[in-house]
Amino acid sequence: MDISRYRDLFVSEAREHLTTLGTLSMRCEEGAADSDSINEMFRHAHSLKGMAATMQLGPITTLSHALEDLLSQIRDGHFSPTRNTVDLMLAAIDTLEQLVALVAQGGELPDSDDLASRIRNHTAAAEEAAATDPTPTASQIKPAAEPAESLFRASDENSTTRVRTALLDRLVTISGELLTVRHTLEDWTNHNQADQLQAPLKELSTLLRQLQNEVFQARMLPFGSIAERYPRMVRDLARKSGKEITFQIYGDTIELDRGVLEQIIEPLVHLLRNAVDHGLETPAERVACGKPPVGSLSLSVSRLADQVLLEVRDDGRGMDPARIRSKAISQGLLNEQQAADLTAQEILLLICSPGFSTAATVTDISGRGVGMDVVQNAIQTIGGTLTIDSTPGHGSIITLRLPISVAIIHALMVACGELQLAVPVSAITSTCEVQRNEIIQKGRDLYLLRDGTEIPLRNLPRFFRQRETLSDNAILPILLAESNKQPIGLLVDRLLGQQEIFTRPLRHPLTDLRGISGSCLLGNGQIVFIVDPTACVGRLCTEN
């Protein structure tokens, strides 16, 4: 029997089983795994074994069967799972994930008998023996196969997702109605009765709006669909660095567009790794500072209007602005005078500079100065913003403000010289019109005087190398936004009104354009660039 045509379905379902098994295994170590959780783990292992046997995938069948036997012993009360047991279960899950990845690529599966044998020999007696040496050696838990692909991979052309049948039914219905309206329009056009096109055009607009909303719903996924991998990662990093950490995730039912979720997987990896390595202290250091020995790390998600807020919070050592400023000067990122002019919030954002790191040594976890730069670039690419709050000795909070969807957004269209640009409405806090005498210049930097505060400005026509045509007595329109809770402004020639646009990603070499996050195509065929305000404005951002 040819089973190759069922491969994609097997891979998809196997990954779901393994994701759940990994999440429930973490509960075992935390002591939160009750009999229902053990029973659920057993069912997933049993299902995976049956699927693999049907597909004639011997190594996966053997290993999942051994894992099923181990869970059966725990379920029947022969012994309770400890950290040593969890290490063994996670090693099995890691290896199974790698084997499934090889199945997806059509590769040959290596033997899994050795690890399966160790799992079967993990009896109550073995558990008692492990109590004196609860930490297995690396060789004991080494996976049977090297990873065939990165765990934090983006989706590819063969990736699949499950969609509710009711949603598909609605999409089919709307598509059929759109076809009917199209035929109506064609009929009226053929008879040159243009005045009678208004009604079908209005109906067409309504149906297109419905179709757009339904398609968006089909792309929405809960944050938990990517969050299940993070507890395991934090656990492994904590053990490697000799730290005790409790990690909590809140709001994992909040839904985001699949495109947004895929773009934030790796930024969150960097943020959590930095929190474990740089932020949180060892138990001895925490006790010396009067803190409990176990550190706290959390990842929370919440909705705010048409945006989603992701917050990574820890109660570690925090960030020292003076140390960051000194390090930035020593690395040549800015001079003494520039450093003195920076606000506290701007100093914290220096950690997002390429190559910047305050780590004394480079480890395999962090310290190379690339993590926060990657985070900021990724967040700005999808039209989001990053905010940092930190108190030395009390921890840090890094907040990501993201759009729910990156496909269709509301934008304010503006004129800058001969260019027409789009600025996401979600990035704008307000707009205003000012006289030229309300703008002051310090060197090459412009500032708006507003309520006694100097707000950094960026002259967009000049920034994008356009000719300036405004007279000295002209009224100047300004878009106000925020960068790390600090107000910033964009000076433009004219405001043209709001419009809903379909965003398109940039490709090389356009990705090197500073201040531009994407593009869109207008109805008249004109290409319009989408502006990222935070990438344009700032005291550290010099003119092109």
Least confident stretch, 186-190, 247-251, 457-461: 186-190
Supply the pLDDT for residue 475.
Answer: 83
- The answer, yes or no, to whether residue 77 has pLDDT greater than 50, is yes
Beta carbons within 8 Å of 386's beta carbon, 6+ residues apart:
349, 352, 375, 376, 379, 380, 398, 399, 400, 401, 484
Mean pLDDT over residues 369-373, rounded?
Answer: 64
Mean pLDDT over residues 506-530, rounded?
Answer: 80
**pLDDT-based confidence at 341, cuts 50/70/90?**
confident
Supply the pLDDT for residue 189.
Answer: 66
Rg for the chain (alpha carbons), in Å? 28
Mean pLDDT over residues 56-78, rounded?
Answer: 90
Supply the pLDDT for residue 192.
Answer: 66
**pLDDT-based confidence at 470, cuts 50/70/90?**
low
- HEC string of 483-499 equals ECCEEEEEECCEEEEEE
For residues 229 and 236, is the Cβ–Cβ distance under 8 A? no
Supply the pLDDT for residue 367.
Answer: 46
- The answer, yes or no, to whether residue 311 has pLDDT greater than 90, is yes
- The answer, yes or no, to whether residue 383 has pLDDT greater than 60, is yes
Architecture of domain 4-140 in this structure: Up-down Bundle (1.20)
- The answer, yes or no, to whether residue 138 has pLDDT greater than 50, is no
User: Residues of the chain with pLDDT > 70: what percent?
Assistant: 80
Mean pLDDT over residues 347-366, rounded?
Answer: 68
Mean pLDDT over residues 63-85, rounded?
Answer: 87
Q: Which residue has the higher pLDDT, 543 or 74?
A: 74
Q: Which amino acid is at 185?
A: L
- The answer, yes or no, to whether residue 363 has pLDDT greater than 60, is no
**pLDDT-based confidence at 135, cuts 50/70/90?**
very low
Domain 223-403 CATH superfamily:
Histidine kinase-like ATPase, C-terminal domain (3.30.565.10)
Supply the pLDDT for residue 284.
Answer: 94
Burial state string for 476-514 with b = 16 or more CB within 10 A and e = fewer than 16: bbbbbbbbbebbbbbbbbebeeebebebeebeeeeeeee
Coil, helix or strand at residue 404: coil
- Cα–Cα distances (Å) from 208 to 194, 211, 212, 214, 220, in that order, read 21, 5, 6, 10, 18
Q: According to the per-residue pLDDT averaged within each range, which of 28-32, 236-240, 439-443 is highest?
A: 236-240
- HEC string of 357-374 equals CCCCCCCCCCCCCCHHHH
Over residues 400-453, the pLDDT tens digits come to 988 877 767 788 999 988 889 999 888 888 999 988 878 888 877 888 888 778
Supply the pLDDT for residue 394.
Answer: 92
Q: Which residue has the higher pLDDT, 280 or 128?
A: 280
Mean pLDDT over residues 25-38, rounded?
Answer: 79
CA distance 480 to 450: 11
CA distance 237 to 398: 19
Coil, helix or strand at residue 355: coil
Mean pLDDT over residues 322-342, rounded?
Answer: 84
Beta carbons within 8 Å of 518's beta carbon, 6+ residues apart:
381, 383, 503, 504, 505, 506, 529, 530
**Total number of residues shown for the chain:** 544
Supply the pLDDT for residue 208.
Answer: 77
Over residues 157-207, the pLDDT tens digits come to 445 566 666 776 677 667 667 666 666 676 666 676 666 777 777 787 777
- The answer, yes or no, to whether residue 145 has pLDDT greater than 80, is no
Q: What value does the mean pLDDT of the chain take?
A: 80
Q: Which residue has the higher pLDDT, 358 or 199?
A: 199
CB count within 10 Å of CB 30 equals 12
Mean pLDDT over residues 497-523, rounded?
Answer: 80
Supply the pLDDT for residue 290.
Answer: 93
Mean pLDDT over residues 79-103, rounded?
Answer: 89
Supply the pLDDT for residue 459.
Answer: 87
Supply the pLDDT for residue 300.
Answer: 96
User: Residues of the chain with pLDDT > 90: what percent?
Assistant: 23
Strands, sheet with 245-250, edge to edge from the N-terminal-most edge strand: 245-250, 295-304, 307-314, 395-403, 385-391
Domain 408-536 CATH superfamily:
CheA-289, Domain 4 (2.40.50.180)
Q: Which residue has the higher pLDDT, 93 or 381?
A: 93
- The answer, yes or no, to whether residue 99 has pLDDT greater than 90, is yes
Beta carbons within 8 Å of 295's beta carbon, 6+ residues apart:
243, 244, 245, 246, 280, 281, 286, 314, 315, 316
CA distance 357 to 368: 7
CA distance 305 to 381: 20
Q: Which residue has the higher pLDDT, 439 or 133?
A: 439
Q: What do you get for the CA distance between the two ends of the chain, in Å?
A: 64
For residues 295 and 316, is the Cβ–Cβ distance under 8 A? yes
- The answer, yes or no, to whether residue 106 has pLDDT greater than 70, is yes
Q: Which residue has the higher pLDDT, 442 or 246?
A: 246
List the helix and strand counts (H, then E) for the chain: 18, 18
